[in-house]
Amino acid sequence: MTENSKAHSPRKGRSLRRGITLIAAAALLAVSAIMFTYAEFRKNQVSRRYEAAWIEVQLGLLDTMLDLYRGRLGEVVRQLVVNPEIDTVLSGDGSHDFERVLERARNELRARPEFAVLSASGQVLAAAGDEAGHVNTDKVRTRATEDIRTRIVVSSSGSPFLVYYAPVRRGATVVAQIAAILDIKDGISFFFPGLSGLAFAQATGGLSALSGDLPVFESVLPEPNGEPWHQILSSSDGRRFDVAALPLRDEAGNFAGEFVFLRDISDALEREEVLATLAFSSVLVIVVVSLGLLAQALRLGFRPLGAVVYLLDAMARGETGLRMRYVEPRPEPESNVEGVPEQFAHHSVARQGETSDSSEPTSLAQRSVAEIDTLLDTVERFRASIDARNALIAVQEQLESARRIQQSLLPVDFDLHPDLEFNARMRAAQDVGGDFFDAFPVGDGRVAVVIADVSGKGIAAALFAAQASVVLRSHCQTPENLPEQIQAANNALCQRNPEEMFLTAIVAFITPRTGEVAFVNAGHCPPMIAAPDGQVRLETRPPNLVLGVLPDVDWSLHHLTLSPGESLLLHSDGFDEAQTLEGEILGRESAMEMFGKVIGGAESQDCAEVSERILEEIDQFAGDAPQADDITLMTMRLAG
């Protein structure tokens, strides 16, 4: 037998091993490519869902911010309209005194808007502000004879302003108007922190930088069309930005332009690319190592078959001198095949006496495949964890913004009237809550108070609560015709309630000099009144429908009278529905006893101390049970 014939079969075995190895390599690479493609698809799918949710939340936040500013500006402007000093300005005797009044009004507002008093002909009679003339006064004058409302005005520099107009009437004649002008970009900077730059694209064309850095992008920004959009764009200097646009509309729904938010995400994307490269490299290394292990496993697996293949080839060539005989296993096996090369001899022995060794390559291959699956699964989980972390950070930012908005809506000055001591506390069950309260003087020595509880909890309830707070305050300004005012507020809430939420509320007007309280109860918890000795009575009335459910509903006006020294408690159902870990609910009777105990046992009946003591009693009752619902307490006491 020639050397060529002896080497023929080993070469065929090696070729077969190479073929199997190449097929396995192609399969592993194909599976890896499919897994990476699927992971990228899932990432893009999650990103699109997050982008849609992000834009929806940002639009809601922008609308809430504008509603908040409209309400605040409207309150201040209405007070300026009835200020006696304005007659001095209208008579031409001088504007300095009223300009000081305007300046005080600016100082009371964190946003510090500008104020202007315009005659019916458009002449500026008095003004207060940091800068003058940067708003087109012709646009301001166009509202001189119209009802109170707001507009969006764009200055010559391209910056948008919110303008609130209030006509000054003498009889049926509009003799002047007061305009409050607020730079919207200041509110954007407060409610949307962390921006690298802010720009405004006017509906008529033109992009103006409002703050920060406005780079030159390699691609053209979309034209403003009233629809929000979001893109990742590269600047000419190599930086990458997260660019989002939110449309800005006035009270009538007219499109004024869009805010363009810019966040420099170059470093974040670079880190993500490094992590992706590391993940890909790790998979590649594992694939190469696995292929090496597979090749070794195949070499070990084919070695026992080498002798058989050699014998079959020799027999096919007609060589009949070869014989195979059984030999007992021994530590140093010798060849059992006459004429078979030395490297195949021990495999014939293993074939007859040590068949258990053939299972080793199979388990090794299984371990290699399992390791690759584990790595791919790890890469998928790693990417999913990054997406989940980014989504969690975004949610936390929105919760913090919602919490700031909610806190800004709640009054902090409780010095409402010399004869009325007042305090209010709201403790949310989550980061943001659905309860809210309000209190403000309305003239003629009376005080208006509002307490409400929105259905649900979380961001949705907080946003609806912010909207409802502005609507109730803007509609309920006088005690006359209070049921009709509540009906108008309810109609406004029904029109802008896509989530079909509702709220319970009590709106009351208090006359501290007489103790008279006129109120409307829209499905809320009835008021509690406590005498100085701790005796408590419940002011129950026939129930009325909650707000936000049906339009054009009628509400009843109720009255009660507080005696000097008596305390009035308005509360949300988080008070009387507090519960323990065992599910025991406090209940209304126990809540009344708790209120009477605090009033009767207090050394001082200070309203702030009463609110704090009630919260402590609730915590003592609930023990370690988590707070299930928002708790709001509004305590007031007549002097005497």
Q: pTM above 0.85?
A: no
CA–CA distance, 562 with 253 (Å, rounded to integer)? 46
The DSSP element (H or E) to which 185 belongs, if any, is: helix 184-191
pLDDT of 629 above 60: yes
State pLDDT tens for residues 545-596: 999 999 999 999 999 999 998 999 999 999 999 999 998 999 999 999 999 9
C-alpha 12 chain-centroid distance: 66
CA–CA distance, 114 with 137 (Å, rounded to integer)? 13
Q: Which domains does the chain have, with CATH numbers?
A: 3-62+269-386 (no CATH), 82-187 (3.30.450.20), 194-264 (3.30.450.20), 410-638 (3.60.40.10)
Tell me the helices (H) and strands (E) count for the chain, helix number first: 13, 20
Taking residue 326's Cβ as centre, other Cβ atoms within 10 Å add up to 9
- CA angle, 319 then 324 then 329, to 5°: 155
How much is the pLDDT for 568?
95
The strand ranges marked E within 33-138 are 114-119, 124-128
Tokens of 331: 């530590």
Q: How confident is the model at residue 329 (pLDDT cuts 50, 70, 90)?
A: very low
Say if CB 379 and CB 283 are below 8 A apart.
yes
How much is the pLDDT for 373?
56
How much is the pLDDT for 340?
44
Averaged pLDDT, 460-484: 87
CA–CA distance, 348 with 305 (Å, rounded to integer)? 8
How much is the pLDDT for 421?
92
CA–CA distance, 355 with 481 (Å, rounded to integer)? 100
Q: List helix spans (H) across 317-424.
A: 342-353, 359-409
Tokens of 537: 């009575």
Decide: residue 262, CB within 10 A, 0-12 exposed, 13-18 middle, 19+ buried. Answer: buried
Tokens of 568: 């009035």
What's 324's DSSP letter? B
124-128, strands of its sheet edge to edge:
124-128, 114-119, 173-183, 160-170, 149-154
Q: How confident is the model at residue 249 (pLDDT cuts 50, 70, 90)?
A: confident
Averaged pLDDT, 266-276: 84
- Counting every residue written for the chain, the total comes to 640
pLDDT of 3 above 60: no
Taking residue 356's Cβ as centre, other Cβ atoms within 10 Å add up to 8
Tokens of 167: 């006509």
How much is the pLDDT for 366?
53
Residues 6+ apart with CB under 8 A from 64: 405, 463, 466, 467
pLDDT of 132 above 70: no
Q: Is 428 helix (H, G, I), strand (E, B) or coil?
A: coil
pLDDT of 170 above 70: yes
Q: Is 586 helix (H, G, I), strand (E, B) or coil?
A: coil
Between the CA atoms of 313, 317, 318 and 321, what dihedral angle is there, to the nearest 10 degrees?
A: -50
Residue type, 593: E
CA–CA distance, 546 with 553 (Å, rounded to integer)? 10
State pLDDT tens for residues 212-230: 777 877 677 888 888 898 8
Tell me which of 368 and 595 has the higher pLDDT. 595
Q: What share of the chain is helix, strand, coil (3-state, %, to 5)?
A: 45, 25, 30
Between the CA atoms of 447, 448, 449 and 452, what dihedral angle is there, to the nearest 10 degrees?
A: 180
Averaged pLDDT, 172-177: 86
Tokens of 378: 């790890």
Lowest-confidence segment of 19-23, 342-346, 497-501, 527-531 by average pLDDT: 342-346
Lowest-confidence segment of 11-15, 60-64, 456-460 by average pLDDT: 11-15
The DSSP element (H or E) to which 533 belongs, if any, is: none
Taking residue 123's Cβ as centre, other Cβ atoms within 10 Å add up to 11
CA–CA distance, 468 with 477 (Å, rounded to integer)? 15
C-alpha 81 chain-centroid distance: 38
How much is the pLDDT for 365?
47
Residues 6+ apart with CB under 8 A from 168: 81, 86, 90, 117, 174, 175, 176, 177, 178
Rounded to a whole number of angstroms, the CA Rg of the chain reads: 39
Rounded alpha-carbon distances, angstroms, from residue 106 to 80, 155, 383, 408, 438:
11, 20, 50, 17, 21
Say if CB 407 and CB 468 are below 8 A apart.
no
516-522, strands of its sheet edge to edge:
435-443, 446-454, 503-511, 516-522, 558-561
Residue type, 129: G
Handedness of CA 558, 559, 560, 564 (dihedral sign): positive
Q: How confident is the model at residue 423 (pLDDT cuts 50, 70, 90)?
A: very high
Residues 6+ apart with CB under 8 A from 360: 297, 300
Q: How confident is the model at residue 483 (pLDDT cuts 50, 70, 90)?
A: very high
Averaged pLDDT, 227-243: 87
The DSSP element (H or E) to which 462 belongs, if any, is: helix 459-475
Q: How confident is the model at residue 45 (pLDDT cuts 50, 70, 90)?
A: confident
| CA end-to-end distance (rounded Å), the chain | 127
What's 305's DSSP letter? H
How much is the pLDDT for 303?
62
Torsion angles phi and psi, residue 561, rounded to 5: -130, 130
The DSSP element (H or E) to which 249 belongs, if any, is: strand 240-249
